[in-house]
């Protein structure tokens, strides 16, 4: 049995929502959850896959929520970007403590705490086997971390974008609210947009479609799920340019 059958991806970008890092707490960063995700990432790196990472900031501050409460949208979004930097530093700390070489690159320069985002430098880090965590979104307001993840996946020439969520794939409705919701094994990019499935922002899905990069949606809450899905096992949904039969 050949190794490529188990590891079809050479380089992937993992998008993790900030809410995942809360664990069972109502707010902030749950250390045990961060450590669990870090262990999953270590398994991927040890398998030989080059991995980069984008983490949302919703566990600390969400720009759109701040704007909904009356804040000026640009200011609220910049605050959300700073929240993603905090999450990136927490993940870097967890990874370095278990022996995974990691670099944080921020789209908003803050040289005291991390590197600025430089595409060629990030690619070199990946080639050397380091995990690169992209922080501060795209560096611009009005763009979500989903769009940032899609942009970085394209820039890094990733083979796939893995989105780790609290559910095990894409459903026709919220499975937590609708017990009749149908889970999809495969979807076309246009299906996601036409059905308004909201697994990612429309701009992110369109960017993945234009660059022919598949989106793999799975639950990151169970230990080992990431490696299983990377091998093509476990429960997940794949969004690509190939329609289901």
- Would the annotation count 189 as a binding residue? no
Residue 72 lies in a domain: yes
- Would the annotation count 144 as a binding residue? yes
- Would the annotation count 164 as a binding residue? no
- Would the annotation count 143 as a binding residue? yes
pTM of whole model > 0.85? yes
- Would the annotation count 18 as a binding residue? yes
Residue 71 lies in a domain: yes
- Would the annotation count 222 as a binding residue? no
Residue 76 lies in a domain: yes
- Would the annotation count 140 as a binding residue? yes
- Would the annotation count 73 as a binding residue? no
Residue 29 lies in a domain: yes
- Would the annotation count 171 as a binding residue? yes
- Residue 57 CA to its chain's centroid (Å): 11
Q: Which CATH number belongs to the domain containing residue 229 in this structure?
A: 3.40.1160.10
- Would the annotation count 57 as a binding residue? yes
- Would the annotation count 142 as a binding residue? yes
Cβ neighbours for 70, distance < 8 A, ≥ 6 positions apart = none
Averaged pLDDT for residues 68-85:
94
Averaged pLDDT for residues 163-181:
89
- Would the annotation count 195 as a binding residue? no
Cβ neighbours for 228, distance < 8 A, ≥ 6 positions apart = 234
Q: What percent of the chain has pLDDT over 70?
A: 96
Averaged pLDDT for residues 215-239:
91
What three-state secondary structure class fits 97?
helix
Q: How many structural domains comprise the chain? A: 1
- Would the annotation count 188 as a binding residue? no
Residue 245 lies in a domain: no
Give pLDDT tens digits for 24-45: 899 999 999 999 999 999 999 9
Distances in whole angstroms, Cα of residue 84 to Cα of each of 104, 137, 167, 184: 11, 8, 21, 30
Residue 45 lies in a domain: yes
Domain assignment of residue 140, given as a range = 3-240
Residue 7 clears pLDDT 90, i.e. is over it: no
Residue 69 lies in a domain: yes
């Amino acid at each position: 049995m050949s190794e490529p059958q188990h590891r079809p991806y050479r380089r992937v970008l993992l998008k993790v929502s900030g809410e995942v890092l809360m664990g069972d707490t109502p707010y902030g960063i749950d250390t045990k959850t961060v450590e669990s995700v870090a262990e999953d990432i270590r398994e991927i790196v040890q398998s030989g896959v080059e991995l980069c990472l984008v983490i949302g900031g919703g566990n600390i501050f969400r720009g759109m929520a701040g704007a909904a409460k009356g804040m000026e949208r640009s200011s609220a979004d910049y605050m959300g970007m700073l929240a993603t930097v905090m999450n990136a530093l927490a993940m870097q700390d967890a990874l370095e403590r278990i022996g995974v070489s990691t670099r944080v690159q921020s789209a908003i320069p803050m040289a005291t705490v991390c590197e600025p985002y430089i595409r060629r430098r990030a690619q070199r880090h990946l080639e050397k086997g380091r995990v690169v965590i992209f922080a501060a979104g795209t560096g611009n307001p009005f763009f979500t971390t989903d769009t940032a993840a899609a942009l970085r996946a394209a820039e890094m020439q990733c083979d796939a974008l893995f989105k780790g969520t609290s559910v095990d794939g894409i459903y026709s409705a919220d499975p937590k609210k609708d017990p009749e919701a149908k889970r999809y094994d495969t979807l076309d990019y246009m299906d996601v947009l036409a059905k308004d499935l909201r697994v990612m922002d429309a701009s992110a899905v369109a960017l993945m479609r234009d660059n022919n990069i598949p989106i793999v949606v799975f639950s990151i809450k169970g230990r080992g799920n990431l490696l299983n899905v990377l091998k093509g096992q476990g429960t997940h949904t794949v969004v690509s340019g190939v329609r289901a039969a």
